[in-house]
Amino acid sequence: MNKQIRWVSLWSAMLVLALLTNLTYMNVFQQAGLEANDYNLRAREAEFDVQRGEILAGETVIAKSVEADKSATFRYQRVYTNGPLYAPITGFYAYNYGQTRIENSYNTYLSGTSSAQWWQNLVDMVSGRTPGGASVMTTIDPELQQAAWDALKGYQGAIVAMDPHTGAIKALVTSPSYDPNQIASADLRSAEAAYNKLSKDETGPMSDRGTREIFPPGSTFKLIVSATALEHGYSADTMIDTPDRLKLPGTDSYLPNSAYCGNTQVTLRRALELSCNTSFANLGVKLGADAVRAQAQKFGFGTGHLDELGGAASHFPDQVDDAQMMLSSIGQFDVAATPLQMAMVASAFVNDGKLAEPYLVQEVRAPDLRLLYSHEVTTTQAVSAETAKGMRDLMISVVNNGGGVKARISGVTVGGKSGTAESDPSSPNYAWFVSFALDPDIVVTVFLQRDMAKPIDLWGGADAAPVARAVLKASR
């Protein structure tokens, strides 16, 4: 009998030990994950009982929390000022659907639960004050954001504007957009209906075409091929074989030029001004896939950027034959990039070859204005200062003498490169324009997916360049 009692006691002790071990593990190692779990209604309701911090663009409050109606499930409701304009930046914070974009990436600061705020929260608890969330200051310029939004009207696409020296994102718009207020509504049935409708919308209003989706960059990729050439000893005056059309090796297909480029040779400068496909197809093969790929990676290809928004990685294919390399050299085949990535390419040229990692949040401050976080600029050397100067000169020539004439601004030095890329055979062409203006320095990339009024082909020089011009002009 005593032996049985001992076994029961031992077994009970082991169960208690296992229970205590599990509770300790959950509290020490799994607490953060459990608190963030979407199924943890208690944690979610506790968050909605705290006044969440503001999100700002300059001095403009673009997201804040206000007391919800007394009939609501929660105490505070999120409100977005000019919601569609800033939706790809703020995202939404909703009872039923969690949070996205900055609302997600800075959630612990905004909700007041970050490790940097524990002491203030403890003081608030002891003193009986209600804890509050920290404020997030973005790098967005409200006036430039509005100008980009206005310039994109009528198109499905995106615009990214950035400071080439710091990487600060000054404008980020995507169209069509949506109103986060509908999803953040205290009326949960209304919020559910809005979310379901937006999710099913084929135009993708909740998509972020600027940072989270990749597209064939078309002739804007010729900037990377040109930079590779300059890095390998070519100059703007180097002559390049430029036939009217070029047979793709191993196929029965021919690559034509969209502009009249002659049928002999042209300089690298003239090839970029006219965007001669056969010039860059020949140049890309001569440089080699490894060299172009390595240069693309120095500009940021293969790596996601702007973690605040979960930015996608741009892509250059790992293995290509000569025909595929020819197509890749003009931004087709399997080459794909975000508008943010192409803005980064131009930014390195303006910044003497140094590539500043893009960012969207400048600083975070506690309710008492104590600084909790401040961004530090980081750069890498993408190309030499000499190559950067050469590329600035080439892009200025494109605007002054080539396919970028519609981006000209009187009295302002503007450089750019247009791109027209084939998309799905049943869809219109994509139109790109990658550009910069100097003094003050700004980089603007425009991507037009389609005209929302009519299904027609779009062109980089004809359609995207004037949009870029409007944004560049607004930055003066």
- For 412, the token pair is 């302002």
Residues 6+ apart with CB under 8 A from 410: none
Q: SS3 for 470? A: helix
Q: Which of 207, 219, 314, 328 is catalytic?
A: 219
Cα gap 432→217, rounded to integer Å: 7
Angular region, 65: left φ>0, alpha ψ -120 to 50, beta rest: beta
Cα–Cα nearest to 283, from 332, 227, 334, 333 = 227
At 332, give phi and psi (nearest 5°).
-120, -150
Whole-angstrom distance between the N-terminal and C-terminal Cα of the chain?
92
Cα gap 26→33, rounded to integer Å: 9
CA 315, 320, 326, 332 torsion: positive or negative? negative
Cβ atoms of residues 409 and 287 within 8 Å: no
Cα–Cα nearest to 93, from 64, 118, 72 = 64
Is 294 exposed, middle or buried, given 0-12, 13-18 or 19+ CB atoms closer than 10 A? Answer: middle
Amino acid letter, residue 258: S
Within 13 Å and on the Cβ side, how many CA atoms surround 76?
Answer: 22
Cβ atoms of residues 14 and 22 within 8 Å: no
Is 255 exposed, middle or buried, given 0-12, 13-18 or 19+ CB atoms closer than 10 A? Answer: buried
Cβ atoms of residues 90 and 55 within 8 Å: yes
Cβ neighbour number for residue 203 with a 10 Å cutoff: 13
Cβ atoms of residues 435 and 162 within 8 Å: no
Strand partners, 435: 416, 444
Residues 6+ apart with CB under 8 A from 13: none
Cα gap 262→269, rounded to integer Å: 14
Residues 6+ apart with CB under 8 A from 49: 74, 75, 76
- For 283, the token pair is 């140049």
Residue 207 annotated in active site: no
Q: Which residues are known catalytic residues?
A: 219
